[in-house]
């Protein structure tokens, strides 16, 4: 066991590994999806090779299931089996086969009504919004919990905080300013 387990007593809380890539990073302003309550959110792309993080998330899903059995049962006679309810850890190879960013990776969508704290690798606050974009790599503090709302039952993922580790190629097809101006080719300039 690592030192992390001594500090964190909540079995439903996970800190992802540093090779986690952030996609759909709405972490500065809350965004409404389908007219719902505006939330901060990020899709965390976790390489399948990061077996430690994947195992921690699976254990946290199990812990959230055990802890939330009364909520999951609701007015029913029994608690639905974990295999029959929605869980947040998804396989990118199956659900996003046409997106190379999700190849050989799992992903989990995390959201929160409150803004996540965002720090750099040295744990200093990140204040420059342009440093955080879809495609960067970093760790995420997430919390898994059971829900039972409007007939939907499952395990969801809350977003706590983010730690920016290193830049990455921007996702979404937009080239960075650095890439656009990497050459001295100015034949089109004022042409």
- Residues 6 or more apart whose CB falls under 8 angstroms from that of 70 comprise none
Give Rg (Cα) of the chain: 19
- Above 50 in pLDDT, residue 1? no
* pLDDT for residue 174: 60
* pLDDT for residue 16: 98
* pLDDT for residue 176: 57
pLDDT digits (tens, 9 = 90+) for 164-186: 999 999 997 666 566 666 665 55
pLDDT digits (tens, 9 = 90+) for 71-130: 999 888 899 999 999 999 999 999 999 999 999 999 999 999 999 999 999 999 999 999
pLDDT digits (tens, 9 = 90+) for 18-63: 999 999 999 999 999 888 899 999 999 999 999 999 999 999 999 9
pTM, two decimals, is 0.85
Query: Residue 99 in 3-state DSSP?
Result: coil
Two structure tokens written together for 69 = 């059995």
Q: How far, in Å, are 33, 74, 75, 92 from residue 154 at the CA level?
A: 19, 12, 15, 20
* pLDDT for residue 75: 85
* pLDDT for residue 5: 44
- Residues 6 or more apart whose CB falls under 8 angstroms from that of 115 comprise 27, 28, 30, 40
* pLDDT for residue 186: 52
Q: From its phi and psi, is residue 77 left (phi > 0), alpha (psi between -120 and 50) or beta? A: alpha
Two structure tokens written together for 84 = 């029959």
* pLDDT for residue 183: 61
Instruction: Delineate the domains of the chain, giving CATH numbers in brackets.
Output: 4-169 (2.40.50.140)
* pLDDT for residue 151: 81
């Amino acid at each position: 066991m690592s030192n992390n387990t001594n500090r964190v007593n909540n079995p439903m809380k996970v800190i992802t590994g540093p090779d986690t890539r952030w996609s759909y990073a709405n972490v500065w302003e809350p965004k409404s999806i389908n007219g719902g309550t505006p939330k901060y959110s990020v899709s965390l792309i976790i390489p399948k090779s990061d077996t430690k993080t994947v195992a921690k998330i699976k254990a946290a899903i199990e812990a959230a299931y055990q802890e939330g059995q009364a909520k999951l049962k609701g007015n029913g006679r029994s608690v639905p089996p974990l295999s029959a309810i929605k869980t947040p850890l998804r396989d990118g190879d199956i659900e996003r086969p046409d997106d190379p960013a999700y190849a050989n990776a799992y992903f989990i969508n995390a959201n929160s009504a409150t803004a996540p704290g965002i720090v750099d690798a040295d744990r200093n606050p990140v204040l420059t919004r342009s440093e955080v974009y879809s495609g960067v790599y970093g760790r995420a503090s997430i919390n898994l919990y059971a829900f039972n709302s409007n007939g939907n039952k499952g395990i969801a993922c809350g977003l706590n905080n983010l730690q920016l580790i290193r830049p990455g190629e921007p996702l979404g097809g937009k080239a960075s300013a650095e890439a656009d101006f990497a050459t001295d080719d100015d034949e089109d300039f004022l042409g």
